[in-house]
Amino acid sequence: MQKAIIGKKIGMTQIFDQTGKVVPVTVVEAGPCVVSMKKTVENDGYAAVQLGFGDLKKVNKPMAGHFKKANAAPKRTLREFRFENTDAYELGQVIKADVFAAGDKIDVTGTSKGKGYAGVIKRWNFQRLKETHGSGPVARHGGSMGACSTPSRVWKGKKMAGHLGTEKVTVQNLAVVKVDVENNLIAIKGAIPGPNGGTVVLKDSCKA
């Protein structure tokens, strides 16, 4: 990983490219982020950089001391990144949206929208049963859970009804369309995970 930044999803809109073609984009308020901690191989066993995003008015004493070392205001969101060159980052350094440029390929990670309790058709795209010839009022049920005598239990991981959404999702190889450094905004082509106002992580694509 060469570069990354933490941001907040603003919402979707559309912009026009040079040829007049409409491009659907998601706008992200990317940064400013501060380097709140640096981990080294000597002290921690591995090299990494911790970034903080989003101002926080009040924190407890241990966290206040943590941010005081970086000479930075308390941050709401902390994420750790294992950059290939951690020496390029200094404690207290501010990282802005200009870390990315138009045309870059990035991976976006966020928490997907919560859908609550969902049945097997919505959650796993199961096929419904017929509604005639005596099938009963079970057209949207999951059906058989397995054999009765062997193994006499439901296999772990079987697709059943349950909680849908609210999980970590990464969308890969998205294109950066436009970067507004003054307002810390990045326009990304296509959709990204999570609701408006949700925290997302932007990092250079592992497939580019």
pLDDT for residue 186? 94
Cβ atoms of residues 185 and 10 within 8 Å: yes
Phi, psi of 199 (to 5 degrees): -80, 135
pLDDT for residue 154? 92
pLDDT for residue 110? 95
pLDDT for residue 70? 84
pLDDT for residue 2? 85
pLDDT for residue 148? 87
pLDDT for residue 56? 86
Single-letter code of the amino acid located at 44: D
Domains in the chain and their CATH numbers? 4-115+170-204 (2.40.30.10), 119-164 (no CATH)
Residues of the chain with pLDDT under 70: 208
| DSSP H helices in 93-201 | 120-124
pLDDT for residue 124? 96
pLDDT for residue 161? 95
Q: What is the DSSP string of 106-137?
A: EEEEEEPPP-EEE-HHHHH-PPPPPSSTT--S
Stated pTM of the model = 0.83
Pick from 104, 10, 9, 93: nearest CA to 51: 93
pLDDT for residue 93? 87
Q: Within 10 Å of residue 194's Cβ, how many Cβ atoms?
A: 21
Which pair of structure tokens corresponds to residue 3? 């570069």
pLDDT for residue 23? 93
